[in-house]
């Protein structure tokens, strides 16, 4: 363990990169290349070069890269992150091997990206959105936006926007082109996830895009005199602190990292400082984007009762912290009580409309009970998952509210309740 900590400055200043596990549903496993093999994966886990992910029959997962690009994996899918590094010029290079299953890629085009599948390779230096479905006999590639060049044993094939190509794995990956795209069951989940990121990361001004959409959905930025621009999650309440729920997870060269259990818990734990602001409570101060925080950073005067998180000693498996973490999956619920002090824990992204107004209601009454809206309601786009609306406070059964949003798909962007 001592060697790992002494190696930290060199590792932090190297060309290694870390990306984020940004959405997890059902059974998902990760091999972090620690020698411990596969273990259960959960939200906000860092992903480093050499890591492998696999989903089971009920598993889905999203990976978010630094610039906000995303990759989503459907059930029974296995990938390896063979390359996650920086070039000498500072460009980020990502290469992923798809062994089997279903992968969606929505690439922003700011960095280089390569996806290998079967005997084929897709190398991008521009924005593109596409889907790859790989089975032992056949691989289907569908392009939703941009254009994609595929290189393989049969040569190079250009697949244009709204076109699809099929590769016969049993015959030297011979390909055929189709004029239209076959719709897949998880296309709606992919589309809604993209809408979520676009809607809630719209005003992001930080140099990083990963995690920005969650800050837009789960909390508010406020200009605080003497502190500057600060961010605070909804539903915090008296007595809450940002290190109450999470887990310690061990990584080679870094030691144990603190992983937040909160759905927004990426950027505020990797960069900047947590501060106790008089009259406001715990708030996050953005900044320090040139430094990766293995342990969450605090600054300023802290409460006398506060105890900073302490990493467990030795090379260990995941160690949970608090009552809420790690959260391994999200499941549909038919009743939700949002309590002051929960800080968004247990709320699937995009599943509740009007989070800001709900925050005021919870702060006033202590808790609010919500019930799901009818799935595929007339007011929701086709394929939109059910969200939550209505409700009453724990102190007044006559209090009610409607959580609505002007954003596309009514804010039900993540597909968390399919």
Residues 55-72: tens digit of each pLDDT: 999 999 999 999 999 999
pLDDT at 8: 38
Closest CA to 201 of 186, 218, 185: 218
- Model confidence, pTM: 0.86
**Residues with Cβ within 8 Å of residue 64, at least 6 apart in sequence:** 19, 20, 22, 70, 209, 210, 211, 266
Determine how many CB atoms are found less than 10 A away from the CB of residue 185.
11
Return the structure tokens found at 329: 């999956």
Is the pLDDT at 325 greater than 90, yes or no? no
Q: What percent of the chain has pLDDT over 70?
A: 83
Handedness of CA 108, 113, 117, 119 (dihedral sign): positive
Q: CA-based angle 267:331:359, to the nearest 5?
A: 55
Q: What distance lies between CA 79 and its chain's CA centroid?
A: 17
Q: What percent of the chain has pLDDT over 90?
A: 67
| Cα 83 from Cα 101, distance rounded (Å) | 20
Element (H, E) at 270: helix 267-270
pLDDT at 10: 37
Please report which confidence band the pLDDT of residue 373 belongs to, taking 50, 70 and 90 as the band edges. low
Q: Is 413 in contact with 192 (CB distance < 8 Å)?
A: yes
Largest distance between two CA atoms of the chain: 69
pLDDT at 276: 96
| Cα 119 from Cα 152, distance rounded (Å) | 6
Domain residue ranges of the chain, discontinuous segments joined by +: 16-185, 193-321, 336-411
Return the structure tokens found at 322: 């608090």
Classify residue 315 by its DSSP letter.
S
Handedness of CA 201, 205, 207, 212 (dihedral sign): negative
Four-way CATH pick for 16-185: 2.60.120.1440, 2.40.50.140, 3.40.220.10, 3.90.330.10: 2.60.120.1440
Return the structure tokens found at 410: 């009514």
Strands (E), 88-179: 92-107, 112-117, 120-124, 128-134, 138-145, 148-152, 155-159, 163-168, 174-178
Determine how many CB atoms are found less than 10 A away from the CB of residue 349.
27
Residues 16-43: tens digit of each pLDDT: 899 999 999 999 999 999 888 999 999 9
Residues 91-102: tens digit of each pLDDT: 899 999 999 999
Return the structure tokens found at 201: 């990361």
β-strand pairing of 219-224 with 228-233: antiparallel
């Amino acid at each position: 363990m001592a060697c790992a900590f002494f190696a930290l400055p060199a590792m932090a200043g190297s060309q290694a990169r870390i990306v984020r596990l940004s959405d997890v549903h059902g059974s998902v496993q990760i091999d972090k290349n620690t020698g411990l093999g596969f273990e259960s994966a959960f939200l906000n886990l860092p992903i480093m070069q050499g890591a492998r992910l696999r989903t089971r029959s009920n598993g889905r997962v999203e990976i978010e890269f630094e610039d906000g690009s995303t990759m989503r994996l459907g059930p029974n899918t296995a990938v390896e992150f063979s390359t996650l590094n920086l070039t000498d010029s500072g460009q980020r290079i990502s290469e992923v091997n798809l062994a089997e299953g279903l992968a969606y890629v929505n690439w922003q085009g700011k960095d280089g990206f390569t996806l290998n599948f079967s005997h084929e390779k897709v190398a991008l230096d521009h924005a593109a959105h596409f889907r790859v479905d790989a089975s032992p006999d056949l691989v289907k590639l569908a392009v939703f936006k941009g254009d994609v060049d595929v290189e393989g044993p049969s040569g190079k094939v250009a697949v244009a926007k709204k076109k699809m190509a099929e590769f016969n794995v049993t015959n030297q990956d011979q390909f055929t082109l189709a004029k239209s795209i076959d719709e897949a069951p998880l296309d709606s989940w992919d589309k809604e996830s993209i809408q979520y990121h676009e809607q809630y990361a719209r005003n992001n001004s930080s140099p990083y895009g990963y995690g920005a959409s969650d800050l837009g959905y789960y909390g508010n930025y406020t200009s605080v005199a003497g502190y500057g621009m600060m961010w605070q999650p909804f539903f915090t309440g008296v007595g809450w602190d940002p290190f109450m729920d999470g887990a310690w997870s061990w990584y080679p060269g870094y030691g144990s990292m603190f992983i937040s259990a909160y759905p927004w818990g990426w950027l505020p734990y990797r960069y900047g400082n947590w501060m106790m602001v008089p009259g406001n409570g715990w708030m996050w101060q953005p900044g320090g984007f040139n430094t990766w925080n293995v342990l969450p950073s605090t600054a300023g005067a802290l409460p006398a009762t506060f105890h900073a998180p302490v990493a467990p000693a030795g090379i260990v498996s995941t160690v949970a912290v608090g009552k809420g973490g790690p959260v391994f999956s999200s499941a549909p619920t038919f009743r939700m009580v949002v309590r002051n002090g929960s800080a968004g824990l247990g709320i699937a992204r995009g599943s509740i409309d009007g989070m800001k107004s709900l925050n005021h209601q919870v702060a006033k009454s202590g808790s609010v009970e919500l019930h799901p809206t009818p799935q595929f309601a007339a007011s929701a786009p086709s394929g939109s998952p059910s969200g939550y609306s209505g409700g009453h406070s724990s102190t007044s059964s006559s209090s009610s509210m409607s959580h609505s949003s002007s954003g596309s798909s009514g804010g039900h962007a993540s597909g968390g309740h399919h």
